[in-house]
Amino acid sequence: MNDLVSKEMTTSSRIIAEYFGKAHRNVLQTIENLDCGEEFSLLNFQQRDFNNERGQTYREYIITRDGFTILAMGFTGKKAMLWKLRFLTAFNAMEAELTRERSNLDWKAARLQGKAVRKNTTDTIQDFIQYATDQGSVNAKMYYANLTKMEYKALDLLEQSKQTSGNFRDTLDLMQISFLQVAESIASTAIQKGMTDNLHYKEIYIFAKEKVTQYAHSVSWARLTID
């Protein structure tokens, strides 16, 4: 059905003429006689030239959804109503498809950025493990898992992670990825500060946990307010 509507969310006077069973010149005349104001016309009816199969140049209009709605108001009859509904359905379907595409691109960008943040965080944890080991910790390597578990728990992702096989982070939605990204940055910053201040490694872990938990609470409150 979306041969009716382009990815630019437009149709054309030629397509409208074809499907509504009208002469193209009559559709052009109807458009030019619309009393909808110059500003609306410029935004929703863009004139351009096209060449037919014999190489002759003619003009047509590229029409937005709003332009189509105004234009089609003058088309009457059972058949016209059928095509009005089909065109509007095509516009809605194209809008939904474009929304999905944009969302997918946003997710991929966020996931890529999340991987960079995670790499920075694991580098910080590696330094922290050496720091804790130097202070006498015998299980310092557990901080890779412990810090990740702490972040998941704070953001209510822990149970979801336990139930997921494969790469858990690939199953997160855009909002969850963004929240986790910030939480990991906060934890990394807190650990770095703790090491700079020469705190005991256990104090540093508690400090990082407090910072992440505070952030998670603020996120939860914001989401409840929005809902």
- The confidence score (pLDDT) of residue 139 equals 93
Contact 191, 208 (CB under 8 A): yes
Token readout for 97 is 């498809």
Contact 140, 129 (CB under 8 A): yes
Q: Centre a 10 Å sphere on the Cβ of residue 70 and count the other Cβ atoms it contains.
A: 19
Contact 51, 32 (CB under 8 A): no
Measured CA to CA, the distance from residue 143 to residue 195 in angstroms comes to 15
- The confidence score (pLDDT) of residue 54 equals 87
- The confidence score (pLDDT) of residue 1 equals 54
Contact 189, 121 (CB under 8 A): no
Per-residue pLDDT of the chain (227 residues; tens, 9 = 90+): 567 888 788 999 999 999 999 999 999 999 999 988 889 999 999 999 998 888 889 999 999 999 999 999 889 888 889 998 989 889 888 888 877 777 788 888 888 888 988 999 999 999 999 999 999 999 999 999 999 999 999 999 988 888 887 788 888 888 888 899 999 999 999 999 999 999 999 999 999 999 999 999 887 654 444 44
Measured CA to CA, the distance from residue 200 to residue 135 in angstroms comes to 8
- The confidence score (pLDDT) of residue 7 equals 79
Measured CA to CA, the distance from residue 201 to residue 139 in angstroms comes to 12
Q: Would you say the pTM of this structure is higher than 0.75?
A: no
Q: Which long-range contacts (CB under 8 A, 24 or more apart) does 129-133 make?
A: 131/195, 131/201, 131/204, 132/201
- The confidence score (pLDDT) of residue 69 equals 92
